[in-house]
Amino acid sequence: MLAQYKEILQAYLEGRGETQLYLAQQLSKWFLRQNISPEEIVDMHLLALEQTLDIPEPVQESFHFLTEVMIEYGYLYREHHSLRNKQQQLEHEIEAAVTMQYQLLSDCRPSYPDIDIGLVSVPAKRMSGDYYNFIQHEDHSFSLAIADITGKGIPAALCMSMIKYAMDSMYLSSIDPSKMLFYLNGVVERNIDSSMFVTMVCGRYDVNRHRFQYAVAGHDPGILYRAKEQQFLDLTGQGVALGVKRNASYPENEVDLLPGDMLFLMTDGVIDRKVGQRYMQREDLVAYIQREIGNPAQVLADNLYRKLLEASSFELPDDHTMIVIQRK
């Protein structure tokens, strides 16, 4: 390698042509592939010069000084290169997790002639800590869940995957919402880190009777809109978040929907934002919803997301997920 380097260097010193500069660039790429350190290149350059020219002693000593500089530089450069490779690998893994999460959160809304369902779920960053799920049953009913998983990134995506498949397997037996949360609490408590927990509303909608049965695990139960009275009511219900307490119980609640009535289920990110100089309150959200009453459920959900985003100066501090269910 020294002989080749010396040949290229000597040709450059004699002609200083573009060809020799191009060869030097290609040689640099070869050095990089062979993991040759900067200090080794400096030493090679000095040896090539000594065999080509009569170098004054001070210049030779300056190369020794440069070698010492390059030793530390080379160490830091290799460390930087290693970190960059790890970062690229992590980016690939995150991209795979984003794809997996997208597949888990595919639009799976059930369809019935007398029910209108709207859904908006937007992550604050690349990956979401929110979760939702719909499962349609053969007895003219469907189950749903909306949840907020502490944290973001790959741990949240893994937790989301675990919850989805646990729910899908249990719902094959048409389990009630309270029993589902009891079961999921055991799954989460046994399988995720103690620093993580999951809040959730789990429900079942009977399309024949238009009755919504639900249970709550540390989550905001949601809002009910009564069309006849044009009144907004807070749904009731409480229970400890999943993964916090072993063998926790989750009382079941129910509400009947009359024609025109609507259910609004959401995660914290819907109202967790600043509007002007203050934080948004529940009455502010109700006012925004009220202005959208009369629109189809999906249009309502989309308009509400856009207007809330605009009101908060297009900042989304937390994941935004909302499910709207309207009886026609």
pLDDT in tens, 36-80: 777 787 787 778 778 877 878 887 777 777 777 777 777 777 777
Q: What is the CATH number of the domain that holds 77?
A: 1.10.1240.30
**139 and 76 within one domain:** no
Q: Give how far the C-alpha of residue 239 lies from the chain's centroid of Cα atoms, to the nearest Å.
A: 26
Task: Give the torsion sign (CA, 237, 241, 244, 248).
Answer: positive
**298 and 218 within one domain:** yes
In the chain, how many domains are there? 2
* pLDDT at site 101: 64
Residue 102 has pLDDT above 70, yes or no: no
What crossing angle do the helices spanning 282-290 and 297-311 adopt, rounded to 10°? 130
Domain boundary among 97, 120, 137: 97
Q: Which domain holds residue 148?
A: 108-327
The pLDDT-based confidence of 289 (bands split at 50, 70, 90) is very high
Contacts for 49 with CB less than 8 Å, ≥ 6 apart: 9, 55
**268 and 126 within one domain:** yes
Q: What is the CATH number of the domain that holds 244?
A: 3.60.40.10
- Report strand pairing: 231-234 vs 115-122: unpaired
DSSP, res 241: P
CA 71 vs CA 36, 46, 130: distances in Å: 12, 15, 49
Condensed to tens digits (0 to 9), the pLDDT of residues 171-225 reads: 666 689 999 999 999 999 888 877 789 999 999 999 999 999 999 999 999 999 9
Give CA–CA dist 316/120, Å, rounded.
Answer: 14
Residue 107 has pLDDT above 70, yes or no: no
* pLDDT at site 74: 73
**178 and 51 within one domain:** no
